[in-house]
Amino acid sequence: METLILNTEKEIPTVKIDETHYKLRIDMNYAQMLAHQRINKKMTDITKLESLTETEEVDLQKSIDLIMEMIIDAPEEVLDKLTDIQKFQIMKVFNDQLKEYMDPLVAVPNMNN
């Protein structure tokens, strides 16, 4: 009886920006995944506020930029052309793809608690 089946030959999804495909970094290691979750939590906490101070706006933008650097293999000049809405679209696609990519047996701590 098989207790675990692993497939190491998974296709890496891409996002097409201005006619060029860029790979999503869904194969990040555990430390990178935890860093991603920490930044994502910080960003989520900021977006829940009713209004933002200048410092919070700067922190939010830095968090968005850090997340983008972590999740997509695209040059800085390409990322700089994206609007925040486009960046959030890429983040959503990344999160959806990451859920599909990860083995359901891998436990990742929930940083939202």
Which residues, other chains included, contact 44 with Cβ-Cβ below 8 Å and sequence gap of 6+? 112
pTM of the model: 0.77
Task: State the pairing for strand pair 14-17/20-23.
Answer: antiparallel
For residues 77 and 100, which has the higher predicted lDDT (pLDDT)? Answer: 77
Confidence of residue 105 (pLDDT cuts 50, 70, 90): very low
In this prediction, residue 103 carries a pLDDT of 55
d(CA 41, CA 77) in angstroms, rounded, equals 26
Query: Bridge-partner residues for 22, per DSSP?
Result: 15
With residue 21 as reference, give the H or E element that holds it: strand 20-23
List, for residues 84-94, the tens digit of each pLDDT value: 999 999 999 99
Predicted pLDDT of residue 39: 93
Tens of pLDDT, residues 46-81? 989 999 999 999 999 999 999 999 999 999 999 999
